[in-house]
Each structure stands twice: as C-alpha cells, then as structure tokens.
C-alpha cells in the first residue's frame, strides 16, 4: 500500500489532482510536507492493535 | 469604586454588589468599556465591540434590578463570546473576512442562556481563523497578543477570550475547545478555562470545527466564576444531537475548599514528554500542595496518551475538511494559508484511516475510564511550555525544540478524544513572568470533582490574583 512507505512527491501530485487541490508551487511544497505528516500519523495509528475495538464515532452521552 | 477594581472583580463578587445595589450594571459596563479603550490597541481581543448596545442593556438591567426584577448572579455582568457563537443581529465572523457581514437571525443556545440570565454582551472576541490553530493568529482581524507580554501568543484558538479575561476587558468569556482551544489560552494567559464533558454544553449555533471533538465552555478568572457560568450554560438542548440528558447540579456546591480523600493520579507519560523545567517544577509543586491539603496522590500509567496526537489529528483533520469542504472549494483562496493547508491536508485522509483512528479513540477512552476507576482526577501540566513568541514555528521545551502546534496541544488533546471534563487553573509563573497552568481532568459529567479540586488549589494560592502589566 502506498501509505505504508513515505509518500513521494509524484504520488502527492497525483492525489492532489484527483482531489481537486491546486495552488502555487510554494504552497504545494508546504502542503506536501503537511500531507506527509498526515500519512506518518495514519501509519502510526495502523500500528496500534485495535482488534475488538469498534470505531468510537463520538463520546456518546446518556440521553435517558 | 475604582473602575480598574471593577474590571478585575470576579463575577461572584460583582454579583453580590449588583444584587445589593452597591454597584450598578451601568458602572460595570462603563468601567469595562474604558478598560477596553485603554488596552485594545495592544491586545486586539475583539472583532466586534458592542459599546452602545451594552450600555443600553446595562441601563435596562439597572432599571430591572431597581424594580426588584433581579435575575440572578449573571444579571448585569459583562460577557464576551468567541466570534463563532451565533448572536442574533450581531455579526459572527468565525474569524474570517469571508463572513465579515454574516449576521445570524438566531442566538446560539449558549448566547440565549446568557441573555435569559441577564448577562450583558460586550462584544464578539477574536479567534484563530475558524478555530483551526492553537496560537491566536488571525491576519483578517489582526493577531491576538498576550497581556503578560504582547510579543507572545495568547494561545488559541480562543485567544481573544484569553486576553480579554486576563486583562480585565470582560468578566466572563467563552471559548470552544476541539484540541485544547479553551485550556491553551487559559494556561498561557493565566486564567481558568473549563472544557466541560462532551454533550454537557450545547454546541448548537456554533461554527463547527470537528463535530465529535468540539466542546464549548467558560473562560474566567476564578473557579467560582466557572461554576457560576456552568450553572447558566450547562444542560440538555434538543437542538444539539449530542446533547446529554443528565441532571445538572448546582456547580457552586463543589466549592468547599476541601480535597481530603480525593485520589489524584499523575500519568507518568506526561512527565516523560518534552517539558520546560520551570513548568515541570510549578506543576509538581501544585500537585504536592494538593497532597499536603489531604489529597492522595499516586503515579499512574496512561500509555495511550502517546497516541493521542495521531488519533486527534486524524479525526480532527478529516472532520474539519468535511465540514468546510464547500467553503474550501468556493473561497479557499481567501483563507489564512496555514488554515487552508490544514483543511486541504485533511482531504488526503482515507475513510479507512479515519475509522482506524476512531477505533484507537475507543481504546484511549477505555483506558481513561479504567484509570478513573482507580483515581478521581488526572493531574499534569496544561502546557509543556509558557507562551511562545508570536508566529514562531518551534518552541524550546526543556532541551528539545519542538513544533508549536504539537507542543501546545500535547496535554490537551486526550480529553477532546474521550470527552472527559478538564480544567486549566493558574499554578505559577516563569522567570520571564509568563503564566503556567495546571490541568485537572475527571470522569464524564463529574465537573463537581474537577471544580472542587481546582477551587481548593486556587484558594490555597494567589496566582489568580496577579494582574498582567498592561
């Protein structure tokens, strides 16, 4: 999976195009750096053993 | 009475004078408007100041009180709302010129409750654009400045609320806290900030950042004022789908000054993270003081704390990008560039990764609940550092240089993830004269215990009585 390794600039440019994200080169350079950080965070979460845990969509307060 | 004294009085003390007709709401509002006029050129706390409107409301409050129609402890007390709380007939910008002329038709629930309680709206407070940042930067309406040193950030996103409260421009303000945006400016500006349990205070009529992480709450100068404010704004609201149907106690009953028997856990992971040594000392001294007052303190382990940044970032960025997607497509070029970048970066998060983060969130929640089976409160620093310089990208935490955004949200994010109540209360100052905050977090809907411990600590110290040099 692409996200298991470092996101390359080519992959970023491809994803950005698909998502309709555009901007000046300097802006995209900075965004690329941010998105790399996002992918590192996502990879870190994938390393957590979440077996048996259902997604907690929010802390659900009691309603009755 | 000296007008500056009026501006620095707590709502608790002011309300007694108002009820006894020793001070009129007109005097109170005039004193605050004078204070704002003197300090606003430096602080830039307000986006919209309601001078004429607040004076008119004060005259009406004075008439009502003279006629025996006293509404309670907030009657005639000046309040400022973060500028993402919708206010009927008053523009609500969310900190962006894109909404410079947006005038809501209805009050948000919190604003309506303040009005019913007789509070007087002084104005709408500056904030990090769309609440998407922890420093208090805003190129559209000007950056916010810390009253203890205007070269430093207020913290954010509720930066105007932090500076206005700390500098005596408002008695009570509100913030909204998605990753720490009440507690961060509270700690950096030397005031009290309470992030209540998720669902306890209505989000209805507030601009969202992240539906499942957003918490409205009070920012004040004393713990008593946090309790008084919660008595007005907490409670079920059918308009908010996440609103909790729970009994609302009188929060002022928590203010006993007694912590004997309270069990306080110190997560060891908090103290393994990068931290300024002056912050470490102030926080450890604060916890020792609580122990000397009769609390039982012990070290606990909170391993999921180390995952909280990754979990929170993934959930927050995905939700914020979903919420603001139309705005991004239509007006993205008008956004503050770092905000636009965060919003666009969130578009790259896959549904699978978002849900994986929500699974991890469930684990962090379970771990927090297990910890709070064994202790009543978790204690630690609100921030690992004092206020960084305005627009700095990094900050020194002990010997380690770390990114400002990560540093400022390091200790606050876990309690947005699990929704538990958490308060920041002043616990000292650095050698440079900058405030330090102690964070106390408790069980869901157990604000009484959080307030009890914070109040007892506050009453045993004098940090909250100090005033910024401005």
State the best of A60, A61, A62, A63 to mutate against chain B, taking most chain B CBs within 10 Å: A61
Tokens of B133: 């940042």
Four-CA torsion B38, B73, B377, B309, nearest 10 degrees: -50
Q: Which residue has the higher pLDDT, B20 or A64?
A: B20
> What is the Cα–Cα distance from B293 to B311, expressed in whole angstroms?
36
State the best of B310, B324, B421 to mutate against chain A, taking most chain A CBs within 10 Å: B310
Positions of B marked active-site: 82, 157, 181
Contact B245 A15 (CB under 8 A): no
Q: Residue A63: is its pLDDT beyond 60?
A: no
**Closest residue by Cα to residue B181 from B415, B380, B458, B436:** B415
Average pLDDT of the segment spanning B326-339:
94
Contact B360 A35 (CB under 8 A): no
Q: Residue A1: is its pLDDT beyond 80?
A: no
Angstroms from A45 CA to nearest CA on chain B:
6
A46: chain B residues, CB-CB within 8 Å: 353, 356
> What is the Cα–Cα distance from B46 to B92, expressed in whole angstroms?
12
Contact B418 A59 (CB under 8 A): yes
Q: Residue B113: is its pLDDT beyond 80?
A: yes
Q: Which B-chain residues 233-262 have CB contacts (< 8 A) with chain A?
A: 242-246
Angstroms from A53 CA to nearest CA on chain B:
5
Tokens 């300024």 belong to B276
Please report which confidence band the pLDDT of residue A2 belongs to, taking 50, 70 and 90 as the band edges.
very low
Residue A64 has what pLDDT?
54
> What is the Cα–Cα distance from B142 to B127, expressed in whole angstroms?
10
Q: Residue B157, preceding bond cis, omega within 30 degrees?
A: yes
| Alpha-carbon separation of residue B313 from B177, B248, B307, B382, B415 (angstroms) | 14, 32, 10, 18, 13
Closest Cβ opposite residue B317 in set A19, A38, A56: A38
Residue % of chain B over a pLDDT of 90: 100
Residue B260 has what pLDDT?
98
Task: List strand residue ranges (DSSP E) for B275-342, in order.
Answer: 296-300
Residue B348 has what pLDDT?
97
pLDDT, mean over chain B: 97
Contact B365 A44 (CB under 8 A): no
A15: chain B residues, CB-CB within 8 Å: 348
Average pLDDT of the segment spanning B97-117:
98
Q: Residue B34: is its pLDDT beyond 90?
A: yes
> Any bridge partners for residue B78, and if so which?
B120
> What is the Cα–Cα distance from B382 to B270, expressed in whole angstroms?
10
Q: Report the residue of chain B nearest A36, measured CA to CA.
A: B345
Residue B338 has what pLDDT?
94
What's the predicted TM-score (pTM) here?
0.97
B307: chain A residues, CB-CB within 8 Å: 44-45, 48
Residue A3 has what pLDDT?
42
ipTM of the complex: 0.90
Pairing status of strand B422-429 against strand B394-397: unpaired
Tokens 């979460």 belong to A45
Q: Residue B79: is its pLDDT beyond 80?
A: yes
Average pLDDT of the segment spanning B178-182:
98
Q: Which A-chain residues 4-63 have CB contacts (< 8 A) with chain B?
A: 15, 19-21, 27, 30-31, 34-35, 37-39, 41-42, 44-46, 48, 50, 53-63
Closest Cβ opposite residue A56 in set B242, B245, B362: B362
Contact B244 A63 (CB under 8 A): yes
CB-based contact, B356 to chain A, within 8 Å: yes
| pLDDT, tens only, B372-393 | 999 999 999 999 999 999 999 9
> What is the Cα–Cα distance from B427 to B458, expressed in whole angstroms?
8
> What is the Cα–Cα distance from B376 to B374, expressed in whole angstroms?
7
Q: Residue B12: is its pLDDT beyond 90?
A: yes
Who's near A20: CB < 8 A, 6+ residues apart? B329
A60: chain B residues, CB-CB within 8 Å: 242
Residue B280 has what pLDDT?
98
| pLDDT, tens only, B413-458 | 999 999 999 999 999 999 999 999 999 999 999 999 999 999 999 9
Pairing status of strand B215-220 against strand B192-195: antiparallel
Half-sphere exposure of B57 (CA within 13 A, CB side): 22
Contact A42 B363 (CB under 8 A): no
Radius of gyration of chain B (CA): 20
Q: Residue B72: is its pLDDT beyond 90?
A: yes
A27: chain B residues, CB-CB within 8 Å: 337, 341
> What is the Cα–Cα distance from B36 to B50, expressed in whole angstroms?
11
Contact B358 A55 (CB under 8 A): yes
Residue A56 has what pLDDT?
75
> What is the Cα–Cα distance from B417 to A57, expressed in whole angstroms?
10
Angstroms from A3 CA to nearest CA on chain B:
10
Task: List strand residue ranges (DSSP E) for B398-453, in order.
Answer: 400-403, 422-429, 435-442
B230 and B216 in contact (C-beta within 8 Å)?
Answer: no
> Any bridge partners for residue B192, and if so which?
B220
**Total Cβ atoms within 10 A of residue B106:** 14
> Any bridge partners for residue B194, and if so which?
B423
Contact A61 B313 (CB under 8 A): no
Residue A5 has what pLDDT?
73
| pLDDT, tens only, A7-58 | 999 999 999 999 999 999 999 999 999 999 999 999 999 999 999 899 876 6
> What is the Cα–Cα distance from B115 to B121, expressed in whole angstroms?
8
State the best of A3, A6, A33, A59 to mutate against chain B, taking most chain B CBs within 10 Å: A59
Q: Residue B345: is its pLDDT beyond 60?
A: yes
Residue B1 has what pLDDT?
80
> What is the Cα–Cα distance from B208 to B212, expressed in whole angstroms?
10
Contact B337 A27 (CB under 8 A): yes
Angstroms from B104 CA to nearest CA on chain A:
28
- Provide the number of CB pairs (under 8 Å) joining chain A to chain B: 113
Residue B213 has what pLDDT?
96
């Amino acid at each position: 999976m692409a996200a298991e390794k470092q996101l390359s600039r080519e992959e970023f440019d491809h994803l950005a195009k698909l998502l309709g994200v555009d901007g000046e080169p300097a802006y995209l350079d900075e965004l690329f750096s941010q998105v790399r950080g996002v992918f590192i965070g996502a990879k870190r979460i994938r390393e957590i053993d979440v077996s048996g845990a259902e997604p907690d969509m929010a802390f659900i307060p009691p309603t009755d | 009475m000296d007008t500056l004294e009026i501006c620095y009085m707590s709502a608790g003390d002011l309300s007694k004078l108002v009820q006894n007709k020793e001070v009129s709401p007109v005097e109170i509002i005039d004193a605050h408007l004078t204070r704002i006029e003197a300090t606003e050129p430096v602080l830039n706390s307000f986006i919209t100041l309601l001078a004429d409107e607040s004076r008119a409301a004060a005259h009406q409050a004075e008439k009502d009180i003279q006629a025996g129609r006293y509404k309670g402890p907030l009657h005639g007390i000046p309040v400022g709302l973060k500028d993402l709380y919708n206010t009927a007939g008053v523009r609500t910008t969310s900190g962006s010129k894109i909404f410079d002329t947006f005038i809501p038709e209805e009050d948000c629930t919190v604003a309506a409750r303040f009005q019913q309680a007789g509070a007087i709206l002084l104005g709408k407070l500056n904030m990090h654009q769309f609440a998407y940042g922890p420093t208090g930067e805003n190129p559209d309406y000007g950056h916010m400045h810390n009253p203890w040193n205007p070269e430093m950030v207020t913290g954010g996103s509720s930066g105007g609320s932090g500076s206005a409260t700390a500098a005596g421009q408002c008695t009570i303000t509100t913030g909204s806290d998605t990753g720490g945006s009440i507690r961060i400016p509270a700690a950096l500006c030397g005031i009290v900030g309470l992030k209540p349990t998720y669902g306890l205070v209505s989000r209805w009529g507030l601009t969202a950042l992240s539906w499942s992480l957003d918490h409205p709450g009070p920012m004040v100068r004393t713990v008593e004022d946090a309790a008084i404010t919660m008595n007005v704004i907490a409670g079920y609201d059918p308009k908010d789908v996440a609103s909790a149907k729970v009994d609302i106690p009188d929060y002022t009953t928590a203010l006993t000054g007694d912590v004997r028997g309270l069990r306080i856990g110190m997560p060891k992971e908090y103290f393994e993270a990068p931290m300024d040594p002056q912050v470490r000392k102030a926080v450890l001294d604060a916890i020792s003081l609580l122990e000397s007052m009769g609390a039982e303190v012990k070290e606990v382990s909170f391993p999921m704390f180390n995952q909280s940044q990754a979990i929170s970032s993934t959930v927050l960025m995905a939700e914020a990008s979903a919420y603001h997607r139309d705005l991004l497509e239509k007006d993205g070029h008008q956004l503050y560039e770092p905000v636009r970048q965060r919003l666009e970066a969130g578009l790259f998060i896959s549904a699978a990764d978002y849900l994986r983060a929500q699974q991890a969130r469930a684990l962090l929640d379970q771990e927090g609940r297990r910890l709070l089976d064994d202790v009543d409160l978790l204690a630690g620093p609100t921030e690992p550092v004092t206020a960084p310089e305005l627009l700095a990208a990094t900050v020194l935490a002990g010997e380690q240089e770390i990114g400002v955004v990560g540093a400022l949200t390091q200790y606050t994010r876990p309690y947005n993830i699990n929704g538990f109540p958490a308060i920041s209360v002043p616990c000292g100052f650095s050698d440079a004269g900058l405030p330090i905050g102690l964070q106390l977090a408790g069980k869901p809907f157990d604000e009484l215990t959080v307030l009890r411990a914070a109040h007892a600590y506050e009453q045993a110290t004098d940090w909250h009585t100090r005033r910024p040099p401005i």
